[in-house]
């Protein structure tokens, strides 16, 4: 099976936050087309692949992506059009070599990942396969992932005082993907009622979670336990568990972690997480410490690693080399996976291979700036990683991913759950 690219077209569109991003359309030699919507993050690691923004203060406050679109429509199209590619790795290798920077900074990671995603879809179309089947690595059993619903937003995802960025519910005890989605929606509804009854506003943050004016993360955890119970589920790993993404890099300043009115050391933060794990059904903590706090990550993993999942996001940025470094240092025991952090489908799959072969857990993730594109749903199924997070069970760009998973479940007999 050989892909011949007949044309590429990128246009500047809006993401779910009203900021510009790219939509890339690839035309095959037979006239058929595929499309990819490029995600964009707000809470970003310093070592992520670099989005190319225009910097023109008269358009979108400098956030326009016409330069990135121009790179797709010009240099990248000239490079790829008319060439024959055997697989997605060949396309991605060509893009990486053409960009010739370690962070995709010349052509723009947003341009490169959009083309890479579209090319992967084109190969799946040529093979007459669903995307997840084409993406599946050799020898890896596909699996429907446990969804992690971000039901309370804070940090850079919401205009409130809550420093922790994401509070998620994870129906790890559900018997199927569709039942997990139902549990997430029902707990979300119960949480809305509880927040309203307590006088909190129920406006939404960037990822569809509620954004109440609450200072202490423990207060949110208490509300989540009550909402899970009210919805008729058991809080915990045999029912609906809780996952956190504090995104600690965002509130770490001068070596201290600023949570509400407190200034905490790394060890103070670890003590606080340990207390949360003892008191509440928290099963996963993502970016509990800042990306540069390697010594703290090592101590955090020693203390809590045997009991909970410790996910590196800003720490690892879906980079195979950094994942390998964290493995050597025994920092974290799981990796968050974001396509646009590294910039190509092939490098994303390689980062997942490195973690998987070391026995790490992995969670495929959306970004705060999303489109209706459902690529990551297929990626999570293809790699059998068992976990995905893509926001609340609300807002079209978030729900599209959950609905895609339901469609995949309905089309076959794939297993569901954590690996």
> Could you tell me which residues are annotated as the binding site for Mg(2+)?
245, 286, 313
Q: Are strands 262-264 and 256-259 parallel, antiparallel or unpaired?
A: antiparallel
Residue of 236, 302, 295 whose CA lies nearest to 273 = 302
CA-closest candidate to residue 169, choices 192, 195, 150: 150
**Of the listed 12, 51, 207, 397, which one is catalytic?**
207
Report the C-alpha gap between 190 and 184 in whole angstroms.
10
Query: Active site includes 104?
Result: no
Beta bridge partners of 243: 168, 284
d(CA 375, CA 382): 11
Q: How far apart are CA 310 and CA 308, in angstroms?
A: 6
34: left (phi over 0), alpha (psi -120 to 50) or beta: beta
The catalytic position among 186, 338, 370, 401 is 338
Please state, in angstroms and rounded to a whole number, the distance separating the CA atoms of residues 27 and 329: 45
Annotated binding-site positions: 165, 245, 286, 313, 338, 367-368, 389
- Strand partners of residue 184: none
Tokens of 1: 């099976």
> Can you tell me the distance from the alpha carbon of 332 to that of 316, in angstroms, rounded to the nearest whole number?
10
Pairwise CA distance, residues 392 & 169, whole Å: 9
Residue 230 a catalytic site member: no
108 by DSSP, 3-state: which?
coil
User: How far is it, in rounded angstroms, from Cα 36 to Cα 25?
Assistant: 7
Q: What angle in degrees, to the nearest 10, is found between the helix axes of 88-99 and 109-126?
A: 160
**Which residues are the active-site residues?**
207, 338
């Amino acid at each position: 099976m050989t892909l011949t690219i007949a044309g590429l077209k990128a246009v500047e569109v809006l993401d779910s936050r009203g900021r510009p991003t790219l939509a890339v359309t690839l035309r095959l030699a037979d006239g058929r087309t595929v499309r990819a919507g490029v995600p964009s993050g707000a809470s970003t690691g310093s070592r992520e692949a670099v989005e190319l923004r225009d910097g023109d203060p008269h358009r979108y406050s400098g956030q326009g992506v016409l330069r990135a679109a121009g790179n797709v429509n010009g240099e990248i199209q000239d490079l790829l059009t008319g060439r024959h590619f055997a697989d997605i790795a060949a396309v991605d290798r060509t893009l990486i070599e053409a960009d010739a920077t370690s962070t995709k900074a010349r052509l723009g990671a947003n341009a490169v990942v959009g083309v890479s995603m579209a090319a992967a879809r084109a190969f799946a179309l040529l093979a007459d396969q669903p995307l997840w089947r084409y993406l599946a690595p050799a020898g890896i059993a596909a699996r429907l992932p446990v969804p992690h619903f971000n039901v309370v937003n804070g940090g850079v995802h919401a205009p409130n005082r809550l420093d922790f960025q994401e509070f998620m519910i994870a129906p790890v005890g559900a018997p199927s993907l569709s039942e997990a989605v139902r549990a997430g929606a029902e707990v979300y509804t119960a949480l809305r009622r509880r927040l309203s009854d307590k006088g909190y506003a129920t406006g939404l943050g960037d990822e569809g979670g509620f954004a109440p004016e609450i200072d202490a993360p423990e207060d949110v955890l208490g509300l989540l336990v009550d909402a899970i119970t009210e919805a008729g589920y058991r809080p915990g790993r045999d029912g609906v568990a809780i996952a956190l993404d504090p995104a600690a890099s965002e509130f770490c300043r001068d070596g201290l972690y600023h949570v509400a009115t407190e200034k905490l050391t790394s060890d103070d933060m670890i003590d606080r997480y340990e207390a949360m794990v003892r008191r509440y059904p928290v099963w996963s903590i993502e970016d509990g410490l800042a990306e540069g706090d390697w010594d703290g990550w090592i101590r955090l993993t020693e203390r809590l690693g045997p009991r909970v999942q410790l996910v590196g996001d800003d720490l690892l940025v879906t980079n195979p080399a950094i994942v390998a470094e964290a493995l050597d240092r025994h920092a974290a025991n799981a990796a968050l996976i974001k396509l646009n952090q590294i910039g190509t489908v092939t490098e994303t799959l390689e980062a997942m291979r490195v973690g998987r072969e070391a026995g790490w857990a992995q969670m495929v993730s959306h970004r705060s700036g999303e489109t209706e594109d459902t690529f990551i749903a297929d990626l999570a199924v293809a790699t059998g990683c068992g976990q995905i997070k893509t926001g609340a069970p609300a807002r079209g760009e978030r729900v599209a991913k959950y609905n895609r998973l339901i469609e995949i479940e309905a089309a076959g007999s794939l297993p569901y759950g954590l690996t």
